Chain A
């Protein structure tokens, strides 16, 4: 029995039939985490998870218990869990012990899922390759010389390397979808307002969303269901009803067999010209073919302002981040320099030494775009262009139900390849930031490999609060292309199974 191939519903069934215990499952993953330490996927591993699992086994898992009861997962290290170290991969929070539960941690705790540990990431979620961590880069399990993608690299690797059943990252401009695509796993950046950000260390508040990462669509749906929905502690969450996505999918399969309503998919051809590797473009055509064969219609669409998305994105995120990161000042918690006499030195040196290069670069940039004399030309202007980008999407969605495009123009690049030029690194987000700016949902799914065997990821972008269309479409793709899903890097390698 290969545990790594099993989905959450299967495991849930086995746990209820006592074919496996939660303790066995958790121990299995903890062992693997130890074995694959050099991938550097975790910052904190909770050995105590075994005891939690034991507890659950003792109390028993009943049929009507939440489906996740007893199933292990991981959290990006920018999500607080009461009593657990939360570093945000930064020196400035190196020893910070969370004093409260984030809403996501609370909801998962209530569901009975077992937290294995906190995953590595780019410091303060700022990065596209997971090379900006105070705890070192995360390696891509498909080829350890390559990056895992960022900023939720540890979370993506924890799933793709079989170090967790499922995981959560945060996606501000692609930080869930990009590493998931580099790792060959599925991911979701929900509509802004679907997920509570309470207890998530803020990067850019108007864009940050939690996103689940899983090896297949049913796991992704379950992971999405358990944490989504309104939270009074986060004023920016929507009061719209959450969809029971997994239930819906199970039902949808039946419907599809009976009366499947055709949907239209748009492809932004202009955006893809230049930059995209041949393998990525081929993969896009494959996905298109799969959908066409199932009766989907395709139209070419135009998102004219998307060419400004990256500039808009980096102005808004750095502006918001410069303010969000002001609280890390060495006064109440976190790193404090020893080298101070005056308050000003306490601040400047604690922050100067506590934050890494990329974080400091963004704070400087963000402080600049908000400062007197520059606010209108940069921050306010960017917010206006953001409106235009959002309007582009609204217009496009009059013609189609979702948009299909690659997550990234290229597959995972080599570690160190882009670190010297920040702007080149920023360009990795070129296909992902628009969805964040427009606040629309985007589902990333694995779509084969490139010539070097590195995973390629596609994304489906949908209308506001229409995750259903995305899940349904991805679910159908998974039915047609099961070989794209449930691939665990190290298993493949260990068994010498090459696609």
Chain B
């Protein structure tokens, strides 16, 4: 499969992951090689085969609806920017996102 820079850009954008222009040829080449290897799967017939998405399938009791408080300070301690106990990000109200 041919991996274009546009595809790398599109995927990088979806994954919010910068791939520098200088890195693109290398990424494209590796991806193409791996995807070619995966082409092998085209040889497998999977009509009426149930996909296996889980490692374990069992019927189990669910968690009871009980409140167990957690010391939130332990979480906030790792916050990079923390204003009045909020997590802080650039203003997004006028942003392009979401």
Contacts and interface: CB of A to CB of B under 8 A. Distances in A.
A and B touch in the complex (CB under 8 A): yes
Interface of A: 82, 96-97, 99-100, 192-193, 205-207, 209, 232, 235-239, 305, 307-308, 310-312, 314-315, 322, 326, 329-334, 336, 340-344, 346-349, 351-353, 355, 360-361, 363-365, 367-368, 371, 378, 380-388, 390, 421-423, 426, 439
Nearest to B94: A342
Interface string B61-90: 001000000110011011111000001011
A343 B95 contact: yes
B15 A344 contact: no
Given A315-B38, A351-B17, A332 B79 contact: yes
B21 interface: no
B53 A330 contact: no
Interface in B4-54: 7-8, 11-20, 27, 30-31, 33-35, 37-38, 40-41, 44, 46, 49-54
B80 A330 contact: yes
Interface majority SS on B: helix, strand, loop or mixed? loop
Contacts of A336: 80-81
B43 to A, nearest CB: 8
B41 A96 contact: no
B98 to A, nearest CB: 9
A96 B70 CA distance: 18
Interface residues of B, number: 51
A193 B31 CA distance: 32
Contact of B11 (A99, A311, A333, A368): A368
Contacts of A236: 54-56
A344 B33 CA distance: 30
Interface of B: 7-8, 11-20, 27, 30-31, 33-35, 37-38, 40-41, 44, 46, 49-56, 58, 60, 63, 70-71, 74-75, 77-81, 87, 89-90, 92, 95-97
Contact of A235 (B7, B16, B60): B60
Contacts of B79: 332-333
Given A360-B17, A365-B34, A344 B97 contact: yes
Contacts of A351: 15-18
Contacts of A97: 77-78
A364 B52 contact: no
Q: Which 9 residue pairs spanning A and B have beta carbons closest together?
A: A352-B18, A99-B74, A192-B55, A383-B51, A193-B56, A333-B78, A347-B16, A384-B46, A367-B15
B38 to A, nearest CB: 5
A343 B17 contact: no
20 contacts: A193-B55, A236-B55, A238-B58, A312-B41, A314-B34, A322-B15, A342-B95, A342-B96, A344-B16, A344-B97, A349-B18, A352-B17, A353-B18, A360-B17, A361-B30, A363-B17, A364-B8, A367-B11, A382-B41, A386-B51
Given A308-B44, A352-B18, A364 B31 contact: yes
Nearest to A353: B18
Q: Which of A238, A332, A364, A365 has the most CB of B within 10 A?
A: A364
B55 A331 contact: no
Contacts of B60: 235, 239
A97 B74 CA distance: 9
B87 A332 contact: yes
Nearest to B26: A357
Given A355-B17, A381-B41, A439 B78 contact: no
Nearest to B47: A384
Contacts of A347: 16
Contacts of A96: 78
